[in-house]
Amino acid sequence: MDKTLLKGLMVLEALAGHEGEPLTIQALATRVGLTKSNAHRTLQTLAHAGYAVRDESSGVYRSTLKLFELGTIQLARLDVRREAAPVMRQLADLTEETVHLSVLDGDTVIYVDKIDSPQPVRAYSVIGGRAPAYCVATGKTLLAFQDDDYLDSRVLNLQAHTSATITDRAALHAELRKIARTGFAVNRGEWRDSVGGVASPVFDGLGVVVAAIGISGPLERLSPKRVKALTPEVLKAGAHISRSMGFRQPYFNTDS
């Protein structure tokens, strides 16, 4: 183990994680368990590499935005489809229903990936296909985590596709608020008469919802009782992918 590198990382983490007034060299040394001279040399090295900067008037050091820049690059490299693929397979094997990974595009969702159910009667869709966001579980999940005015400014026509479609704007707002609290959305034949589903959100490392994962199938199999039993598994899938995307905040209760 490279002890010099380890010291540098310890000092950098202490600088970046400290809130409030910048740390003095002595305070920093005490925090990470180094001598003052070791801490000073390490800080000089970090400053030379662009990870720290010294305030000439006070002599204290603070971290720069270089770590943030590196983190942003890494976040940009994360592909939600790649991170979701093994989790989708697990969910598909467990539920034997069609699994969708969806993203929001205006007032519709796009299915960016899917795994078909092995059942002869199943939910049919295609990768790249679209559905009205307010009518399907993944879409309602994504809408629930948008800005307050998103629904009213982007989803203008609440057309009834079935007798179960929510066409009342106030009722839809209430439904989305509930989804934002619980972390999952349910579709009971709101887009297609005989097809339903349940979905949960996928967060990235900045806490932004970037996708939704859900299962879809015929309502004759996805009864309210079975949906209730499968909801924790869908939530666990959303939590798992979110962690893979760098999300470190608490997720929703996966024992729902």
The angle, 0 to 180 degrees and rounded to 10, between the axes of the packed helices 36-48 and 3-17 is 80
152: burial class by Cβ within 10 Å (0-12, 13-18, 19+)?
exposed
The stretch 190-214 carries a mean pLDDT of 95
Residues 15-55: tens digit of each pLDDT: 877 666 677 888 888 888 989 999 889 889 988 888 888 88
The CA radius of gyration of the chain, in Å to the nearest whole number, is 24
Q: Give the pLDDT confidence of 207-216 residue by residue, as tens digits.
A: 999 999 999 9
Q: Does 3.30.450.40 match the CATH number of domain 78-244?
A: yes
Which of the two residues, 221 and 61, has the higher pLDDT score?
221
244-255, pLDDT tens digit by residue?
999 999 999 877
Q: Which of 4-13, 19-28, 152-161 bottoms out in mean pLDDT, i.e. has the lowest?
A: 19-28
pTM of the model: 0.73
Residues whose CB is less than 8 angstroms from the CB of residue 173 and which lie 6 or more positions away in sequence, other chains included = 151
Question: If we measure between CA atoms, which residue out of 91, 51, 36 comes closest to residue 213?
Answer: 91
- Farthest CA pair distance, the chain: 74
- Domains 3-73 and 78-244 are alike in CATH topology: no
Strand partners, 130: 110
CA–CA dist 133, 114 (Å, integer)? 17
Question: CA angle, corner 112, sides to 79 and 138, nearest 5?
Answer: 105
**Tens-digit pLDDT profile for residues 41-97:** 988 998 888 888 888 888 788 888 887 777 766 655 568 999 999 999 999 999 999
Domain chopping of the chain, boundaries? 3-73, 78-244
Q: Which fold has domain 3-73?
A: Arc Repressor Mutant, subunit A (1.10.10)
What does pLDDT average to over the chain? 90
